[in-house]
Structure 1
Amino acid sequence: MASKLRQLQSKASQASQFLSKHGSVYYKQLLEENKQYIQEPPTVEKCNVLAKQLFYTRLASIPGRYESFWKEVDYVKHIWKNRQELKVEDAGIAALFGLECFAWFCAGEIVGRGFTFTGYYV
């Protein structure tokens, strides 16, 4: 146990040294590549204004999202009414989508339990 702790401390020290040598170069390069997204002056007040703009822009997009949602629901209703004309490919895509949703649900449950594989899924 003590040897593993020393190995971990050694690796942490190496990572810290690497970051101290190369971190500022990476930071400057990242800022230079993305300077078109930087607002001037970079102050707390400007960040607050941008946060409010983002919040209210997303709030304003709710009616459009609501309308899109009901269009999708109407499309599903239409397909369900005409399910006799449904192709095998479309049914396969729907089945894969349902399977993917279930898999994400299971993955979320596993993550929620702290990455333990216990319970009724296994």
Structure 2
Amino acid sequence: MASKIPQLQSKVNQASQIVAKNGASYYKLLLEQNKHYIQDPPTIEKCQSLANQLFYTRLASIPLRYNSFWKELDHAKNMVKNWQDLNRENVGFAALFGLECFAWFWGGEIVGRGFTFTGYHV
């Protein structure tokens, strides 16, 4: 593992040189391609107005998301009631979803412990 550190450092160095060389042109290209999203002039009042629009738009979407949640829950309840009708594909999706939830939980636990596996810093 320690022998790979110089190789990793050289790759990181190469990547940072590419970003330093091409970063400004990429930034300009990105702004040019998305200029229709940019508010002119960029004032504090306009930013506050956009923030309020986003907040209240998301607030207004809560009932739709709430109804969608209950529909999904009813569908899941029906699948559990009729478990004999499930095919391999549905069972596979459920197993993958459970595995993904477990992996995210496990990863979060590791991050919460400061990227340690057993409590000792590696």
The TM-score, its normalising length taken from structure 1, stands at 0.75
After TM superposition, the runs of 4+ consecutive aligned structure 1 residues lying more than 6 A away are none
How far did residue 29 of structure 1 move?
2.2
Q: Which position in structure 1 is the counterpart of 2:81?
A: 81
2:71 is aligned with 1:71? yes
- Structure 2: tracts of 5 or more residues without a match: 1-8
Which secondary structure does the structure 2 equivalent of 1:116 belong to? coil
Distance 2:94 2:26 in 1: 44
Secondary structure of the corresponding residue to residue 68 of structure 1: helix
**Structure 1 residues 90 and 23: alpha-carbon distance in aligned structure 2, compared to 1, 3 A threshold:** closer
Aligned partner letter, 2:47: C
Q: Which residue in the other structure is 2:111 paired with?
A: 111
Structure 2 letter corresponding to 1:59? L
Letter in 2 for 1:49: S
Alignment root-mean-square deviation, CA: 2.3
Equivalent positions of 1:55-70 (< 5 A) are 55-70=55-70
Percent pairwise identity? 67
Structure 1 regions of 5+ residues with no counterpart? 1-7
Q: How many matched pairs?
A: 106
